Amino acid sequence: MKLTFVLLLNCFLLLSSVGKSQVFNYGTESKIALEHYQKGWEYIMDLGEWTKAEASFRKAVKADSEFLLAWVQVGRISNEPKERDSIFTLLKEMQHLLGPQEKKILSPYLMSMEIIDLKDKNQTIPKEKISDFYQNSLVIFSDFLMEYPDEVYVFAEYIETIHGIYGAQPALDRINKSNKIYQGLPFILSYKGILEAETGQEKLAWKSFNKFKASFHGQNFPPSVFFTEAKISNLLGDNKRAEKAINKTLELDPKHTLAKRLNGQFTAL
């Protein structure tokens, strides 16, 4: 009951704040840096283009070397442990220079960097660390969206956080209660299909997938289309289709980290 109330309250507050949002610059005064930063999120979330996303985040920090929220994305996506360590140290030393909102939103990103680093080093991740990360993210992303509801990629991470804490159905319910700004985001169309597959709603999952796929208007489909197909297929028990789709994802972008992890499940069989 408490969970339902909290999610409904957050939903109401977010919906009521749409149209009143301010522009958030993520701590940079460089228009070029901010454009590259936003493009990086589009590449990674909507298109599944991890290689292009990394290049875009690196362009952001090249345009503004003190753009800490872009640096943290470079650190999260980098496959070089030494580089990630040096970026993490830099961010910890310089975070006091950020404004209150920028410093808040940096917090879950720093925590995720630590988790990513442990995964890449095949080290055990303490359950408390994951729990702290999710709880921290839930509060910070929710508060942030109250003030900046047009920041759709933060909403996307907020949904992932709800999924991580409460499971697929509450995350799905949150999407279904959200406004059209959020529901039209390609990543959300994709993620909705994955959540529906996880909850056993096969017909709805493929309907959401087809809607997501159609949003690219018959273009050469990006890696995100094949990754979504792979993830839904895997959740519904069709590993043959999933493996074929994951191979296509990695053919298009070998750096797609989530696809590599899913592929590891097939190679382990």
Return the C-alpha torsion angle 159, 258, 197, 172, nearest 10: 0
Residue length, the chain?
269
Mean pLDDT of the chain: 90
User: Is a pLDDT exceeding 50 seen at residue 83?
Assistant: yes
Tokens 């701590």 belong to residue? 27
Q: Which residues are CB-contacts of 78 (< 8 A; sequence separation ≥ 6)?
A: 54, 84, 87
User: Is a pLDDT exceeding 70 seen at residue 76?
Assistant: yes
User: Is a pLDDT exceeding 70 seen at residue 16?
Assistant: no
- pLDDT tens string 84-124: 999 999 999 999 999 999 999 999 999 999 998 888 888 88
Asked if residues 36 and 56 have their Cβ atoms less than 8 Å apart, the reply is: yes
Quote the pLDDT of residue 17. Answer: 46
User: Once rounded to an integer, what is the mean pLDDT over residues 135-150?
Assistant: 95
Quote the pLDDT of residue 120. Answer: 81
- pLDDT tens string 46-71: 999 999 999 999 999 999 999 999 99
Q: Nearest to residue 11, comparing CAs of 174, 125, 150?
A: 174
Beta strands in 59-135 (DSSP E): none
